[in-house]
């Protein structure tokens, strides 16, 4: 397959922060959607209009799915080295707009700008490079008796992505699908769709063939559901809430398509009882950071802090001091730790959870209702900590997706494990101990897809995914690549 210049009829784009898009990308062309309706995207920092994206229809989604279907056979037959070259070219085009992307995503999501640069932009660039490496590495064939076992691309894939890590999740899905030889239809969240246009422009400028990558913006009920039911798509990869993921799986079952789901979490951070005072202070201070990253708008956030009962008051004192040291403010101001939430709806949802926590009888240690002083405009929430939280309370069971930390106590290690496992989610977790072997033994008992031991950092090449109602399948690295492959037995 030859390389194509696919940047025909580029969408009109005004200078930031006003970004007005009126076209979607189907079959290598920026094309007008069926309807002139649009989605208003709000700047999380000041509640002004940031830009607009088309509110495409189900028919537009079907057009994109058909384009992906038509392009699949030729793309699947493209040499792996050529797929890798295109992915690296797209990465180079994105890297050239690195600062612009960080600015845009900070406005879309509220993440402080330095963090956006490192997490929201540089990690996707790293994933594009990793996907290119996986394309050329391929998937090993094996022999079982007289049978040859081969892996092939699953087909045309619909990628439905969230608003909290918009570019990151779009790349985590699309890059590995493309590397595997699949074609893609991307549907970004309607809350933060603008960065997806930058990604699409980079893919078009790289020269991906028509139909290999398509972008359709719109609502989940219109575009997302159309993709989930489309007979032209072989797989749906979805990241979002557990409720929405269940709906996607239900719709996808009508055509028995493969489903990958990365859903909610209510992850536990277990502090074991052998820490000395100095180590405890370090661990608890770090626990606040791990709960509040991206203002708590992270599915893997460690929002349940499990501590020995006899050290509760000591922990509360450390937490109070750590939260007081946080700077909440404009994501573009120097030294800011937490920005606003991504939308008014999310801010209001988190405020309601704070009301629920107090009504349930949890004790408010820090924060509470309302915005931080001086931050009445923008979707700001006060960093909040509840203590005396029982495992059966709603704030200890349900994902809040904001800067709300619950402190729970335990008396024995077995009780700590039982509390950690006593939710319907199983996405992430953490364990701290002076004995690394003990920490790892506890980590192995947790029913969750990922566990950090003694403050270990995130590894973008290790698989991420959930147990229980946190999802199906894995993303990133080799496992994320293999998610988009089918297995065939050739009998000889």
- pLDDT beyond 90 at 18: no
Question: Measured between alpha carbons, how far is 161 from 57 in angstroms, rounded to an integer?
Answer: 17
Indicate if the pLDDT at residue 117 is higher than 50. yes
pLDDT tens digits along 338-392: 999 999 999 999 999 999 999 999 999 999 999 999 998 999 999 999 999 999 9
Interatomic CA distance for residues 329 and 104, integer angstroms: 17
Reported as a pLDDT band with limits 50, 70 and 90, residue 416 is very high
Mean pLDDT confidence for 435-455: 98
Lowest-pLDDT choice from 5-9, 39-43, 279-283, 446-450: 5-9
pTM of the model as a whole? 0.94
Q: Tell me the C-alpha distance between 104 and 110, whole Å.
A: 10
- Per cent of the chain over pLDDT 70 is 96
Note if 262 is an active site residue. Answer: yes
Per CATH, 19-263+470-491 and 268-459 having the same topology is answered no
The string of DSSP letters for 260-306 reads: EEE-----EEEE-TT--HHHHHHHHHHHHHHHHGGGG--TT---EEE
3-state secondary structure string across 89-149: HHHHHHHCCHHHHHHHHHHHHCCCHHHHHHHHHHHHHHHHHHHHHHHHHCCCCEEECCEEE
What is the predicted pLDDT for the residue at 411? Answer: 98
CATH 3.40.309.10 fits 268-459, yes or no: yes
Least confident of 7-11, 13-17, 369-373: 13-17
Closest C-alpha among 451, 389, 469, 10 to residue 201: 10
Decide if pLDDT at 17 tops 50: no
Taking 50 as the threshold, does the pLDDT of residue 189 lie above it?
A: yes
Q: What is the per-residue pLDDT for 127?
A: 97
Q: Which residues pair with 307 in a beta bridge?
A: 409
In this prediction, residue 1 has a pLDDT band, given cuts at 50, 70 and 90, of very low
Helix, strand, or coil (residue 27): coil
Query: What is the predicted pLDDT for the residue at 11?
Result: 43
Residue 358 tokens, joined? 């107090």
pLDDT band at 19 (very low <50, low <70, confident <90, very high): confident
Determine if residue 302 is left, alpha or beta; phi over 0 gives left, psi from -120 to 50 gives alpha, anything else beta: beta
CATH topology of domain 19-263+470-491: Aldehyde Dehydrogenase; Chain A, domain 1 (3.40.605)
Rounded distance, CA 305 to CA 151, Å?
A: 42
Q: Which residue ranges make up each domain of the chain?
A: 19-263+470-491, 268-459
51 within 8 A of 17, measured Cβ to Cβ: yes
Secondary structure (3-state) at 234 = coil
Q: Per-residue pLDDT averaged across 425-431, rounded?
A: 98
The active-site residue, picked from 108, 222, 262, 469, is 262
In the prediction, which pLDDT does 376 show?
A: 87
Alpha carbon distances (Å) from 464 to 86, 161, 480: 25, 15, 8
Question: Is the preceding peptide bond at 133 cis, omega within 30 degrees of 0?
Answer: no
Instruction: Please name the residues in contact with 303: beta carbons below 8 A apart, sequence gap of 6 or more.
Output: 266, 267, 291, 296, 399, 400, 404, 405, 406
Residue owning tokens 């894939």: 157
Instruction: Read off the pLDDT of each residue in 236-244 and give the average, rounded to a whole number.
Output: 97
pLDDT digits over 141-167, tens only? 899 999 999 999 999 999 999 999 999
51: tokens are 């830009």
């Amino acid at each position: 397959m030859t390389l194509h210049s696919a940047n025909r009829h580029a969408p009109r784009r005004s200078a930031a922060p006003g970004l007005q898009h009126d076209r979607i990308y189907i079959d290598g062309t920026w094309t007008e959607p069926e309807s002139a309706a649009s989605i208003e995207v709000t700047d999380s920092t000041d509640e002004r209009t940031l830009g607009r994206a088309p509110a495409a229809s189900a028919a537009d989604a079907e057009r994109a799915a058909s384009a992906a279907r038509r392009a699949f056979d030729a793309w699947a037959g493209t040499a792996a080295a050529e797929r890798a070259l295109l992915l690296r070219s797209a990465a180079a085009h994105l890297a050239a707009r690195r600062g612009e992307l960080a600015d845009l995503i900070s406005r879309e999501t509220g993440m402080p700008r330095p963090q956006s640069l490192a997490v929201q932009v540089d990690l996707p660039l790293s994933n594009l490079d990793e996907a290119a490496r996986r394309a050329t590495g391929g998937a090993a064939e094996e022999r079982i008796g007289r049978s040859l076992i081969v892996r092939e691309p699953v087909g045309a894939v619909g990628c439905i992505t969230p608003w909290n890590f918009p570019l990151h999740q779009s790349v985590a899905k699309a890059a590995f699908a493309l590397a595997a030889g699949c074609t893609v239809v991307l549907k970004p969240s309607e809350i933060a769709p603008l960065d997806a246009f930058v990604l699409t422009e980079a893919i078009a400028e790289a020269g991906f063939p028509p139909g290999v990558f398509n972008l359709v913006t719109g609502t989940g009920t219109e575009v997302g559901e159309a993709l989930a039911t489309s007979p032209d798509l072989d797989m749906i990869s979805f990241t979002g809430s557990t409720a929405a993921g269940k709906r996607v799986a239900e719709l996808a079952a009508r055509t028995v398509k493969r489903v990958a789901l990365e859903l909610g979490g209510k992850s536990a951070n277990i502090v074991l009882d052998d820490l000395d005072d100095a180590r405890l202070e370090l661990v608890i201070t770090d626990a606040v950071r791990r709960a509040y990253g991206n203002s708590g708008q992270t599915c893997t956030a460690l929002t349940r802090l499990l501590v020995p009962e006899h050290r509760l008051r000591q922990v509360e004192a450390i937490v109070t001091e750590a939260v007081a040291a946080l700077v909440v403010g404009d994501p573009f101001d120097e030294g800011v730790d937490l920005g606003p939430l991504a939308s008014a709806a999310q801010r209001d949802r988190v405020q309601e959870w704070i009301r629920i926590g107090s009504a349930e009888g949890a004790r408010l240690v820090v924060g509470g209702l309302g915005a931080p002083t001086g931050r009445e405009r923008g979707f700001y929430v006060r960093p909040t900590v509840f203590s005396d939280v029982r495992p059966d309370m709603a704030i200890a069971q349900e994902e809040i997706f904001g800067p709300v930390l619950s402190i729970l106590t335990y008396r024995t290690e077995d009780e700590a494990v039982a509390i950690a496992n006593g939710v319907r989610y199983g996405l992430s977790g953490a364990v701290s101990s002076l004995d690394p072997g003990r920490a790892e033994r506890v980590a192995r008992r947790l029913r969750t897809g990922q566990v950090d031991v003694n403050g270990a950092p995130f590894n973008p090449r290790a698989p991420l995914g959930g147990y229980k109602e946190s999802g199906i399948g894995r993303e990133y690295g080799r496992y994320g690549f293999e998610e988009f492959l089918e297995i065939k037995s050739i009998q000889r």
